């Protein structure tokens, strides 16, 4: 369209209104006659790829909690947070730290938690150097419920209403600021409600920051972990735990609704014990290397070393199920960003009495892991290899034990002084 002596009145049809104006208004210039009243550009439809989380759950079904956690952080960055209840799901925070990525943690303070739980929150914040983002129930709602029904009405008419006010609604507010969240749910926690949970899913109940169905993704990295293995992991990593656990508490919630369990009882029997055992919910939750690969690790087949020991000192950790790595071999293992199978490697000196003391348990570990998909190795880190081990392999003292995950070049150092085979197995099982 052209303009002559005077402004033209432009009539846009309904179809024309679909165009996005860039400059909807213009200024007249006495010396220049404008050639157009508006410059428009068509809107471009952007194709958004939708993640298939059912397929992703199948792909991650046999992955370790560490790998699942790392994938979650990779996808969602600062828009994902860990839901921390103050119980054994402190394992989630430990896994998060081990990924080396930044992470957020939030928790629901119902106002009725045990004193031990509050002290545990403080210990966790100090141990990890984090600030937990606390969510509180609406004071007016709590006040109205307590005034009309009393402090302990849930013993008579069930826990759902109290949990809805003190937990579900605060959680809903927290999740509206996120695109994904991480929970500590395990399949073995509850016989009636958690046996089929996937490691990742579109949240069927809550909404995320974008709003609507499918706007929030729920990650359950520990879904396939058994309770005993979770506790072995916590012990192996020397993380703080709620002191209530030593008093017989396993699953911990609010003080009036949680009690210790007896030997042989299921862990959820300590929660809402006056109700049906199948309804124990509060409303929050409705690889092998081939021979050529091995040769590459050992420096194109020329790096593998055998027992050579120092003068007068025999070498240790000798087994057919254990790989003896040279400096080139451990260097190549360190540089691999993606491995076909994980490795556990001990950095040792044959003259060290502490290394000699753990020889039996480490050889037993190698025997147990033979054929399991986890390779067991050793690297002699005294002599010429000591400086390299200090700078690149976190060597502080002998022995130092490292785990090399499949998906990351960053090795994880075993932090405990417990070197029995059960503790070492717990470390491996938690991370592989």
- 328 touches 384 (CB < 8 A): no
Beta strand pairing call for 217-219 and 80-83: unpaired
Residue 352 is among the residues annotated as catalytic for this protein: yes
Query: Of 162, 254, 257, 355, which one is the catalytic site residue?
Result: 355
Beta strand pairing call for 39-41 and 20-23: antiparallel
Assign domain 53-288 to its CATH superfamily: HUPs (3.40.50.620)
- For 323-430, the fitting CATH number among 2.40.160.20, 3.40.30.10, 1.10.1060.10, 3.40.50.300 is 3.40.30.10
Q: At 254, list the tokens.
A: 């609010």
- 92 touches 237 (CB < 8 A): no
Per-residue pLDDT of the chain (432 residues; tens, 9 = 90+): 454 444 444 444 443 444 343 333 334 444 333 433 444 455 555 444 568 999 999 999 999 999 999 999 999 999 999 999 987 889 999 999 999 999 999 999 999 999 999 999 999 999 999 999 999 999 999 999 999 999 999 888 888 899 999 999 999 999 999 999 999 999 887 655 567 899 999 998 899 999 888 899 999 999 999 888 999 999 999 999 999 989 988 889 999 999 888 766 677 778 887 775 445 555 454 422 234 443 444 443 333 333 333 445 789 999 999 999 999 999 989 888 778 899 999 999 998 878 988 999 999 999 999 999 999 999 999 988 899 999 999 998 889 999 999 887 689 999 988 899 999 999 999 998
User: Domains of the chain: which residue ranges?
Assistant: 53-288, 323-430
Quick one: 131 exposed, middle or buried, by C-beta within 10 A (0-12, 13-18, 19+)?
A: exposed
Measured between alpha carbons, how far is 70 from 407 in angstroms, rounded to an integer?
9
Q: Which residue has the tokens 């009539």?
A: 11
Q: How close are the terminal C-alpha atoms of the chain, in Å?
A: 68
Tell me if 53-288 shares its fold with 323-430: no
Residue 257 is among the residues annotated as catalytic for this protein: no
């Amino acid at each position: 369209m052209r303009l002559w002596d005077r402004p033209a009145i432009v009539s846009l049809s309904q179809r024309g209104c679909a165009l996005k104006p860039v400059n909807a208004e213009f200024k007249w210039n006495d010396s220049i006659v404008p050639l157009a009243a508006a410059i428009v550009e068509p809107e471009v439809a952007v194709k958004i790829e939708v993640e298939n989380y059912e397929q992703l759950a199948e792909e991650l079904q046999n992955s370790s909690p560490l790998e699942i956690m790392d994938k979650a952080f990779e996808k969602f960055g600062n828009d994902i947070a860990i839901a921390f209840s103050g119980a054994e799901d402190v394992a989630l925070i430990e896994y998060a730290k081990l990924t080396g990525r930044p992470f957020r943690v939030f928790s629901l303070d119902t106002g009725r938690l045990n004193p031990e739980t509050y002290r545990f929150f403080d210990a966790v914040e100090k141990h990890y150097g984090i600030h937990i983002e606390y969510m509180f129930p609406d004071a007016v709602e709590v006040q109205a419920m307590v005034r009309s029904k009393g402090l302990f009405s849930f013993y008579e008419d069930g826990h759902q209403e109290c949990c809805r006010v003190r937990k579900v609604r605060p959680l809903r507010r927290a999740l509206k600021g996120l695109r994904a969240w991480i929970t500590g749910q395990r399949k073995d926690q509850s016989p009636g409600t958690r046996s089929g949970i996937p490691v990742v899913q579109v949240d069927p109940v809550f909404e995320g920051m974008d709003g609507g169905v499918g706007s929030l993704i729920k990650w359950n990295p520990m879904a396939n972990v058994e309770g005993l293995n979770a506790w072995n992991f916590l012990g192996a990593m020397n993380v703080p735990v709620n002191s209530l656990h030593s008093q017989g508490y396993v699953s911990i919630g609010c003080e009036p609704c949680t009690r210790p369990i007896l030997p042989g009882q299921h862990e959820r029997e300590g929660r809402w014990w006056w109700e049906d055992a199948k309804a124990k919910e509060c409303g929050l939750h409705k690889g092998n290397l081939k021979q050529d690969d091995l040769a590459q690790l050992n420096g194109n087949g020329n790096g593998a070393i055998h027992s050579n020991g120092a003068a007068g000192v025999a070498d240790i950790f000798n087994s057919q199920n254990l790989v003896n790595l040279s400096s080139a071999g451990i260097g190549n293992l360190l540089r691999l960003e993606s491995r076909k199978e994980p490795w556990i490697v001990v950095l040792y000196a044959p003259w060290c009495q502490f290394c000699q003391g753990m020889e039996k348990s480490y050889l037993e570990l190698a025997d147990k892991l033979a054929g399991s998909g986890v390779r067991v190795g050793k690297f002699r880190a005294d002599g010429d290899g000591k400086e390299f081990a200090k700078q690149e392999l976190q060597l502080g003292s002998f022995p130092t034990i490292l785990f090399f995950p499949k998906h990351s070049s960053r090795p994880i150092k075993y932090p405990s002084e417990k070197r029995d085979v059960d503790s070492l197995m717990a470390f491996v099982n938690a991370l592989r």
